[in-house]
Structure 1
Amino acid sequence: MIETEVELLRLIEKNANLKVEKIAKLMGKSKEEIEELIASLEKKKAILGYSTLIDWAKVENEEEVTAMVDVKVTPARGVGFDKVAERIYRFPEVKAVYLMSGAYDLSVSVRGSTMMEIGHFISEKLSTLDSVLSTTTHFVLKKYKHDGIILEDEDDDDKRIVVSP
């Protein structure tokens, strides 16, 4: 991948809302060159989509529960972990699946309305798959940073009491 493509990808990874004109100005290119470059990267599937990061904790009555589930599986003969991962990522509750090194094979990010909803998904859908040997579930209690974005208000004063000897 050429340096210009990488520069463009880094810019839109930080802010997918940047206008083509702004990107062109930042990169010292014409609007048309940037449009062609974006189209080329989309065609190559280097750019898979555009998303917005939302702090759901700040949206009234819309909080979601997120869990990270460590999954130990039996890989399928001839295809390894790919078919198992594909079976898991097709569930609508699943937001991400990663092949991991270490004690567990897959890390699965799951979202639901309640802990109970996630629990039902794990016990009734995920754990019942033939290739799944075991799961360990970790519920996210608070998000501090996601995809490089700090979710806390940085200008909040430190509310802790100063303790001195």
Structure 2
Amino acid sequence: MTVLERDVLKILAEDARISHKKIAAMLSVDEAEIKACISDMEGRGVIVKYTAIINSEKADDALVEALIEVKVTPKKKEGFDGIAKQIATFPEVKAVYLMSGAYDLAVFLEDKTLQQVSRFVSERISTFDGVISTATHFILKKYKIEGSLTEKEDEDYRLSVQA
């Protein structure tokens, strides 16, 4: 990866809506070069998607979010990939990660109700051949999402001191 690509990615990670013209000015590079650089990274799959980070707690239609720990018996020839790819196809699933440690896959999902999340885990994930066990953790409150704090800090905040 080139220095230019790294610089462009850093800028886009902070604000994906920024124009090619502004990026070019920030990096003292021709706008056409920025456009070509971004297009190339999109084509190679370096840039996967442009999206808004939404704090669902403040949205009118807040969803129930959960982290599902999944223990798996890896299959011959495909290892963990087969089950991970199957789980990733469901629209409720927002992310799937292969993990080291006590469990194999971390599955982040969203649904409308606690019951729907529970049903998804019991009727879909748990039924896959090779799934040994699951543990569901419901997200109660978010403090930071994708590097951004969810609440602005109160400038007058002071710790109370008692004598």
Interval containing the TM-score (normalised by the shorter chain): over 0.9
Matches within 5 A, 1:2-151: 2-60=2-60, 62-151=61-150
- In the alignment, the residues of structure 1 paired with residue 74 and residue 129 of structure 2 have an alpha-carbon distance, to the nearest angstrom, of 11
Partner of 1:47: helix, strand, or coil?
Answer: coil
The alpha carbon displacement at 1:156 in A equals 6.4
The alpha carbon displacement at 1:44 in A equals 1.2
- In the alignment, the residues of structure 2 paired with residue 157 and residue 77 of structure 1 have an alpha-carbon distance, to the nearest angstrom, of 59
The alpha carbon displacement at 1:81 in A equals 0.6
RMSD, matched Cα:
1.5
Amino acid at match of 1:164: Q
- In the alignment, the residues of structure 1 paired with residue 155 and residue 115 of structure 2 have an alpha-carbon distance, to the nearest angstrom, of 33
TM-score (norm 2): 0.94
Cα deviation digits, residues 48-83 of structure 1 (max 9, x gap): 1101101122222x1111100100001110111111
Map of 1:155 onto structure 2: 154
TM-score (norm 1): 0.93
The alpha carbon displacement at 1:163 in A equals 5.0
- In the alignment, the residues of structure 2 paired with residue 63 and residue 78 of structure 1 have an alpha-carbon distance, to the nearest angstrom, of 40
Q: Residues 142 and 159 of structure 1: is their aligned pair in 2 closer, same or farther, counting only changes over 3 Å?
A: farther
- Is the deviation greater in 95-104 or in 13-22? 13-22
The alpha carbon displacement at 1:91 in A equals 1.1
Report how many residues are paired: 163
Cα deviation digits, residues 64-105 of structure 1 (max 9, x gap): 111001000011101111111001111111100000000100
Partner of 1:78: helix, strand, or coil?
Answer: coil
